[in-house]
A = this chain, B = another copy of it.
């Protein structure tokens, strides 16, 4: 069933360079935003690059009744609007020929219809019983869908063989117990190796490049430890607010929305040991070890090592924006955080004593995701008493790239040092913007490469840490500082680093 048998075992995972097998992609939640804005445009761009299998079909599934034509039209318009490259009707028709739609209500027979439809596609388009079920619905529907797939026998290869895989969009659970419950339900039906949990950050080119940067080059890894690194800063700043998603955000908050998944993934990739190989499990084994090494939450320490806050009204890019409490569907006395900053440690040999500072927030002055390593000072000051240590910043978005800040001699006879930067810009270096994360992730799921997906133990280790934090927060006085929209968060966050003698980077 695997397609890599004839390959060198090293040539798996990130090194995969194979053709995709024919298959059908079944998108649950096909009438939702994600399908129209991300998934189908991603398919269009994969088709443009001739990366989709020769036999390929897409079945949209949702509650609403809709004709194939109506679905195809909606997807065409979505692609026209959201594709990263311009859409041509000619190229679109290659995708459109394989699109169809199936409505499913509460009637369990609906999945029988879906099964027959898929068998029919296998016959007509030669998709060989290979099915990729993509759950782009609200997570509350996950368990039901999985159970019904099982009842309809769709969790197993079709009569003519093939494979069945399932892709789960985030969030995976709301806390540790709900995540465990969902994982349990899913794993009763699908083997863990057939489960693809999406964290779209892992599909970003620069996130993948972090592994290349660290492990394909000999000169960074020797510096990548407590001997040379003073501390690490991870920032996920958004300038947008909650964009009308008050109902979702009230349930989630920034900690669940950003930290538990994206930021912990960035932390793992930054801190992990070199894996034995690039096989999916070799990498995920190392990532989960980072989460296991996170310094356990101790109630007394949480106050000094975490900051939560909520945005107040302010100005961003010259425009007035409302405070969180004035957003639609937000409780007037909401204590949901829109900003969180954490100071934590990876208690292992490599990172002993090196703080990892994480911050994520909405309504920041700008959108920027980056990982920055601040190096220790020189051991002996020859030139100056002022300390201007080196910094290596990996910008995930926007303007993906790498910047190394170091001291240089300013020109002229005066003995002035001046910080300068070596720069590498992903876009300009390769003459094109990198592909969208979803292109990579959908293709990998089709290829059966789960390297860039989250394994069950990762999700649960991450929730375990977040749960412990949230329990302490819940037991506290609930004080929640405000910060003016368009600023870098509350004073409390600056104070947290100041107590360690450090500063947040100005971005």
> Considering residues A14, A383, A432, which has the most beta carbons from chain B within 10 angstroms of its beta carbon?
A383
CB of A411 closer than 8 Å to a CB of B:
yes
Chain B residues with CB under 8 Å of A278's CB are 382-383
Chain B nearest CB, measured from A467 CB (Å): 34
Q: For A15, list chain B residues within 8 Å (CB).
A: 383-384, 415
Q: Are B423 and A390 in contact (CB under 8 A)?
A: no
Q: Which of A206-245 contact B (CB under 8 A)?
A: 208-209, 212-213, 215-223, 227-228
Min Cβ gap A373→B in Å is 9
Flag if A216 contacts B389 (CB, 8 Å): no
A residues 406-462 touching B (CB-CB < 8 Å): 406-415, 417-418, 420-424, 426, 429-430, 432-435, 439-440, 443-444
Shortest Cβ gap from A394 to chain B (Å): 11
Given A383-B15, A420-B429: A216 touches B414 (CB 8 Å cut-off): no
Kindly provide the distance from the CB of A434 to the nearest chain B CB, expressed in whole angstroms. 4
The 8 A CB mask of A380-397 against B (1 = contact, 0 = none) is 111110000110100000
Q: Is the beta-carbon distance between A412 and B383 smaller than 8 angstroms?
A: no
Min CB distance A179 to B, Å, is 29
Interface string of A82-123 (1 = CB under 8 A from B): 000000000000000000000000000000000000000000
State how many angstroms separate the Cβ of A248 from the closest Cβ of chain B: 30
Q: Measured between alpha carbons, how far is A49 from B404 in the docked complex, in Å?
A: 31
Cβ–Cβ contact A213 & B406, under 8 A = yes
The answer to whether residues A413 and B383 also contact, given A217-B407, A218-B390, A422-B402 and a CB cut-off of 8 A, is no
Cβ-based interface call for A205 (8 A):
yes
Residues from chain B with Cβ under 8 Å of A423 in the complex: 422-424
CB < 8 Å neighbour of A382 from B227, B275, B407, B421: B275
Within the assembled complex, what's the spacing in Å between the Cα atoms of A390 and B213? 11
Q: Which of B10, B376, B407, B434 contacts A216 (CB 8 A)?
A: B407
> Which residues does chain B contribute within 8 Å of A383, judged by CB atoms?
14-15, 212, 215-216, 278
Chain B residues near A222: list those with CB within 8 A.
222-223, 227-228
Whether B277 and A212, one on each chain, are in contact in the complex, defined by CB atoms closer than 8 angstroms, is: no
Contact call A408/B421, Cβ cutoff below 8 A: no
Contact yes or no, A218 B377, CB < 8 A: yes
* Residues of B with C-beta under 8 A to A377: 218
Which residues does chain B contribute within 8 Å of A353, judged by CB atoms? none
Distance of A468 from chain B, by nearest CB (Å): 33
**A367 at interface (Cβ–Cβ under 8 A)?**
no
Say yes or no: is A16 at the interface (Cβ < 8 Å to chain B): yes
Check A160 for interface membership: any CB of B closer than 8 A.
no
A228 to chain B, nearest CB (A): 6
Chain B residues with CB below 8 A from A51, complex form: 413
B215, A382: Cβ atoms under 8 Å? yes
CB distance from A274 to the nearest CB of B (A): 7
Query: How far, in angstroms, from A250 to B311 measured CA to CA in the complex?
Result: 78
User: Is B415 in contact with A17, judged by CB distance below 8 angstroms?
Assistant: yes
Residue of B219, B412, B440 touching A223 (CB-CB under 8 A): B219
Cβ-defined contact, B217 with A14, below 8 A: no
Residues of B within 8 A of A444 (CB): 413
In the complex, which residue of chain B has the Cβ closest to the Cβ of A430? B411
In the bound complex, how far is the Cα of B378 from the Cα of A414, in angstroms?
Answer: 40
Q: Is A379 an interface position by the 8 A CB rule?
A: yes
CA distance A417 to B382 in the complex (A): 39
> For residue A406, which residue of chain B has the nearest CB?
B217
CB-CB under 8 A for A406 and B17, given A382-B277, A383-B212: no
| Interface-central residue, A278, A429, A433, A434, by most chain B CB under 10 Å | A429
Give me 12 other A-B pairs in contact (C-beta within 8 A), A219-B406, A411-B426 excluded: A205-B409, A212-B409, A213-B406, A216-B384, A217-B378, A218-B389, A222-B223, A402-B422, A413-B439, A420-B424, A420-B429, A421-B429
Chain A interface residues toward B at CB < 8 A: 10, 14-17, 46, 49, 51, 205, 208-209, 212-213, 215-223, 227-228, 274-275, 277-278, 375-384, 389-390, 392, 402, 404, 406-415, 417-418, 420-424, 426, 429-430, 432-435, 439-440, 443-444
